[in-house]
Amino acid sequence: MKKTFSQKMFIASDNAKRILTNRKDRGICTSDIVARERIDAMVEYLFDKSYTPIGDLNIETAYISNEPLTFENRLTGRKRENLRVGDRWAVNTFDCAWFHITGRVPIGYEDKKVVYLLNLGGEGLIYKADGTAVQTITCFASEYAYALGFPLKRVVDDISENGEVDFWIDAAANDLFGNIKNKAIIDEACISVCNVNIRALAYDLQVLISVYDTNQNAFADKIFAICKNLLKSYKTITDDRAEEIRKELAPLLSQKNEGKQFEYYAIGHAHLDLAWKWPIRETKRKGARTFATQLHNIKKYPDYIFGASQAQLYQWVKEDYPQIYEQVLEAAKTPNWDVQGATWVEMDSNLIGGESMIRQFYYGKNFFRKEFNQDMKILWLPDSFGYSACLPQVMKLAGVPYFLTQKMSWNTVNKFPYHTFNWQSPDGSEVFAHMLPEDTYNGPVYGTSLKFGEKNYQERSISSKSMMLYGIGDGGAGPGYEHIERMHRFNDLAYMPKVTPKKALDAFKILDDGKTEYPTHKGELYLERHRGTYTTQSKNKKYNRKCEFALKNYEYLMLLAKERNIELPIKEDELEKIWKEALLYQFHDILPGSSINRVYDESVARYEKILTRLNWAINYLADKIFKKGLLNLNSFAHSGSFNIDGEWYSADIPAMGFTPVSEMKKIEQFSVNATADTIENEKYCVKFEDGCIVSLFDKVLNREFVGRGKKMGVFSVYKDIGDCWDIHPINYQKTKVDAKCTAFKTVDNRASVSAVADFKLGQSTITCTYTLTQGGEVLEADLVIDCHQKNSMMRVAFPTSIVSDECNFNVPFGHISRATTENNSIEKAQFEVSGQKFVDISNEKLGLTLINDCKYGYRCKGSVIDVNLIRSPLGGPGHNVDQGIHTVKFALYAHEGKISADSYKYAYQINNEPICVNGIGDTGSMSAFHCDNENIILESLKISDDKKGAVLRLYNCADTEQECRIAFDGYKIAGTTDILEDSVMPCKDKLTFRGFELKLVKIDRVSE
């Protein structure tokens, strides 16, 4: 009927280190150490004795399925009858089942607290017979850090009617972290009486002994003496005796703090990854289970506050569990439910583009406004893997002044120096940031954790207040009764930090109360961990990049189509759904590559369908609007040589414009050349040896860009002993193996010349095609990699001739600089860093920009740009990842002096090539966008909410102030606005931009 579940594993782990420390500091005797350990055993025993079985629960039937069934369709699964404790009900992880549970509460327990104890070896949502969801159960997690709390939720309040028990459980054969725990075996199913006083006594002792563990004073010694005295008789304690003991302990628990104490503002929390060690479909169920449990907690504890973030999660619950969602809407009108976050998902910010970052706020905030009538003010990213330098600026434009995290506490080398601070973007935008000093969003509400956070808090001299998130995350359904019970006892207990329930925004306003002493951090928040996520699951990252550009291209053509009254192939409602799905896949455990394989099997399939749909729609509109020619969807003019239907043309395609073939000049004289080991155009002479570049000579600058005695484009493989998150520096030191060139040739294609090299690297093959075009400013490289390397990492290195102390990395709306030196621990820790469309190493005389169309992980130390191509690490959660065919495009751009707008121009051109249109439209040569300053870039545009025009996303790619005049054909400038388009501020004809500033400029259609 009933199994006991030891809590000693986490109680003892919370105290073991303290015991050893106390022995040294206090001169504690060996017998007291033994007594202290026995106190843990006593508390464990009392928790086990908190429930007395009085009857069995009958598992009459189970309807098992591979994928979830609704309550209405629950009987369509594979039927099993008369399951019992000890039976296994699932074979595969993520199998599903509807259990029908019956029983009868024995007569004579009407005045007792009756509960059900259930552990099905998985997770489950309990429904009454009428289909009303009421509560959640979870099993032990196989990988959970028990020092953070008790993950098992097995106690279910009685929902019988006249003693008759009849309910259903929608179960999942997985634990918190996606595994089948104990082979999905039913461990427990019984009706019990809760011995409320014994249970309460266990909580009392658990809290009081933590006061002893964390203090050295007479009060702590008194607690220890009382606890030791209880060791004599605790195994004979009845519920009535427990009530008497509680009265004796009450003076201790009611002793308040004297004077000013450190105070936590506490919020129940259930950090929920939208995919990780489970698929997206299971997250939807985890969300419902979490919300149902916390609605139940709110009813039991009137002062309890629970918070949840992510608009996507709320949307799923709204769609799939409307009954639960209606309760959430009502709870959010009370002080008990804290709606959190300002984005569609808790996204990664290292890997997403600028428009994606804007849309995360746009769709997230609009959802919460519509559904909850709340204007969200906090960017809630407790678990993302580092934070982009541009985030504060985007937050300000979204009306989000506050930022919460704890992830920077995960640094492995350099402790991040602040917990409460002002965070600045490179343009000077500033927000108020708070990092949880307990170093976790799964706070256990233990005395040792509370004391650790107080001591750890680095702004103690400025403020004695901090935030605390507590509960079991990742499907653990948030705080259990034990968290809330401890929280109440710590509310104001002598010699301990105060714990006060408070909503997050209220807590931020108190922390940010006008104090000017808080420190300031400018630039990115670089996490010294999880650097492998810049590369793992490369296909997903490439699809994200392609999807971002396709969405931007379609929205520009939407604007042109609306002007011409052309019917849209993708209407605005469908476009919003596509955007939201793309934003979902930017979640911080999906796009970075740290989820199980199933997540990527499903997301890649969806990406392919989305891109097929978008590209079809783009071509459809282009053909309707334009004649035959080339369409440039970037805000830079694009000049060069283009092959159309086998003929070479020279063309100057204007910014955001179109050039018909009829206005292009056919190339008759060709000025490129290829020999056995060299390709050459007007700008470059490139020489090869063993398939690698041994000379990249710029004839215009008269400079060599390959490092002396070095080779560029050297492919190597390293043993990868990490997991999907982490790369270990040993990879750069002892395990490198270079690729062998197996074939090489040059090809002359009239207005372009190519060098084609084939490489063998272990079981993998690489074909690298370098190409120069007539009049071209970049050396392009197209890679086709057939990867069959396991437990390895493939990279390509470009040793340059440039000496510089820093390297520039593209980020949304600009670039940031990082050191190429390793002079201190901070620089050494940045052995792998993220960047987006390009990386540039330059000095006052010359520079080299390496452009890519889908890569994000770099090592740039000394004069070498080293790119991480593919990771297939030994560890999970994904296994044997990134096998098969990969295509990658690179380009090298040699330039004079430091980085300029030209690096941006060629990066956009490589990532967003001109579209060859075979149209039937009547639009000839045109350019929609005009700007008199090349440093001001039009990143993207969006149809304005008022349908009068569009909102342009313009940014300054220079680090100095810039001025410009812009124009958009057929539109007038209405003014600058914000991400939500709440207001429009009139602006002058000449716009002034701070260095790296982003402006949102609204344009309205001019009436004809």
The residue range of the domain holding 465 is 263-529
Contact 163, 14 (CB under 8 A): no
Domain boundary among 855, 885, 913: 913
3-state DSSP: the chain helix, strand, coil percent, rounded to 5?
Answer: 30, 35, 40
Q: Which of 460, 117, 482 is nearest to 297 (CA)?
A: 482
Structure-token pair, residue 863: 């004069």
pTM for this one? 0.96
Question: Which residue stretches of 49-195 are H helix?
Answer: none
- Residues in Cβ contact with 319 at an 8 Å cutoff, skipping those fewer than 6 apart: none
Residues 210 and 327 in one domain: no
Q: How far apart are CA 175 and CA 183, in angstroms?
A: 11
Structure-token pair, residue 766: 């690489």
Q: How far apart are CA 320 and CA 313, in angstroms?
A: 11
Residues 329 and 245 in one domain: no
Which regions of 358-464 does DSSP assign to beta strands (E)?
378-380, 402-405, 420-424, 430-435
* 634 belongs to a structural domain: no
| pLDDT at residue 330, rounded to an integer | 98
By annotation, the residues acting in catalysis are 383
| pLDDT at residue 902, rounded to an integer | 99
Pairing between β-strand 263-269 and β-strand 465-470 as defined by DSSP bridges: parallel
| pLDDT at residue 7, rounded to an integer | 45
Q: How far apart are CA 758 and CA 737, in angstroms?
A: 16
Residues 22 and 80 in one domain: no
Structure-token pair, residue 427: 């343009």
Q: Determine the residue type at 940.
A: S
Residues 834 and 800 in one domain: yes
Inter-CA distances, 445 with 234, 490, 809, 955, Å: 25, 8, 41, 45
Q: How far apart are CA 953 and CA 357, in angstroms?
A: 12
**DSSP H or E run through 230:** helix 218-230
Residues 108 and 178 in one domain: yes
**DSSP H or E run through 323:** helix 322-331
Structure-token pair, residue 68: 């979830």
Q: Is the dihedral of CA 314, 315, 321, 323 positive or negative?
A: positive
* 921 belongs to a structural domain: no
Q: How many helices (H) and strands (E) does the chain have?
A: 18, 55
Instruction: Please give the angle made by the CA atoms of 71, 72 and 75, to the nearest 5 degrees.
Output: 85
- Residues in Cβ contact with 414 at an 8 Å cutoff, skipping those fewer than 6 apart: 528, 825, 826, 829
- Residues in Cβ contact with 890 at an 8 Å cutoff, skipping those fewer than 6 apart: 780, 781, 782, 783, 850, 851, 852, 853, 867
Neighbour tally for 430: CB within 10 Å: 18
Q: How far apart are CA 593 and CA 346, in angstroms?
A: 15
Residues 454 and 469 in one domain: yes
Q: How far apart are CA 799 and CA 313, in angstroms?
A: 46
Straight-line distance from the first to the last Cα atom of the chain, in angstroms, rounded to the nearest whole number: 81
Which regions of 443-508 does DSSP assign to beta strands (E)?
465-470, 498-501
* 902 belongs to a structural domain: yes
What is the separation of C-alpha 181 from the centre of its chain, rounded to a whole number of angstroms? 26
Q: Can the peptide bond before residue 501 be classed as cis, meaning omega within 30 degrees of 0?
A: no
Q: Which of 345, 390, 389 is nearest to 586 (CA)?
A: 345
Domain boundary among 625, 655, 686: 625
Q: How far apart are CA 704 and CA 696, in angstroms?
A: 6
**Residue 785 β-bridge partners:** 766, 886
Q: What is the 3-state secondary structure (H, E, C) of 781-829?
A: EEEEEEECCCCEEEEEEEEECCCCCEEEEEECCEEEEEECCCCCHHHHH
Q: How far apart are CA 377 and CA 338, in angstroms?
A: 12
Split into its structural domains, the chain has a count of 6
Residues 741 and 816 in one domain: yes
Residues 186 and 38 in one domain: no
Contact 774, 672 (CB under 8 A): yes
* 667 belongs to a structural domain: no
- Residues in Cβ contact with 473 at an 8 Å cutoff, skipping those fewer than 6 apart: 269, 270, 271, 272, 441, 442
- Residues in Cβ contact with 880 at an 8 Å cutoff, skipping those fewer than 6 apart: 597, 790, 872
Look up the CATH number of the domain holding residue 519. Answer: 3.20.110.10
| pLDDT at residue 729, rounded to an integer | 80
| pLDDT at residue 14, rounded to an integer | 46
* 339 belongs to a structural domain: yes
Look up the CATH number of the domain holding residue 967. Answer: 2.60.40.2220
* 396 belongs to a structural domain: yes
Residues 487 and 591 in one domain: no
* 922 belongs to a structural domain: no
Looking at residue 6, the DSSP 8-state letter turns out to be -
Residues 33 and 64 in one domain: no
Structure-token pair, residue 465: 């207040």
Domain boundary among 601, 625, 649: 625
Contact 949, 1002 (CB under 8 A): yes
**Under DSSP, is residue 278 helix (H, G, I), strand (E, B) or coil?**
coil
**Residue 547 β-bridge partners:** none
Looking at residue 523, the DSSP 8-state letter turns out to be S
Q: How far apart are CA 726 and CA 386, in angstroms?
A: 13
- Residues in Cβ contact with 692 at an 8 Å cutoff, skipping those fewer than 6 apart: 711, 712, 713, 714, 741, 757
Neighbour tally for 109: CB within 10 Å: 17
Q: How far apart are CA 424 and CA 416, in angstroms?
A: 16
* 639 belongs to a structural domain: no
Residues 728 and 853 in one domain: yes
Residues 594 and 572 in one domain: yes
Low-confidence ranges of the chain (pLDDT < 50): 1-21, 23-24
| pLDDT at residue 141, rounded to an integer | 63
Look up the CATH number of the domain holding residue 801. Answer: 2.70.98.30
| pLDDT at residue 153, rounded to an integer | 87
Contact 735, 718 (CB under 8 A): yes
Q: How far apart are CA 89 and CA 510, in angstroms?
A: 51
**Under DSSP, is residue 759 helix (H, G, I), strand (E, B) or coil?**
strand
Structure-token pair, residue 9: 């594993």
What is the separation of C-alpha 663 from the centre of its chain, rounded to a whole number of angstroms? 47
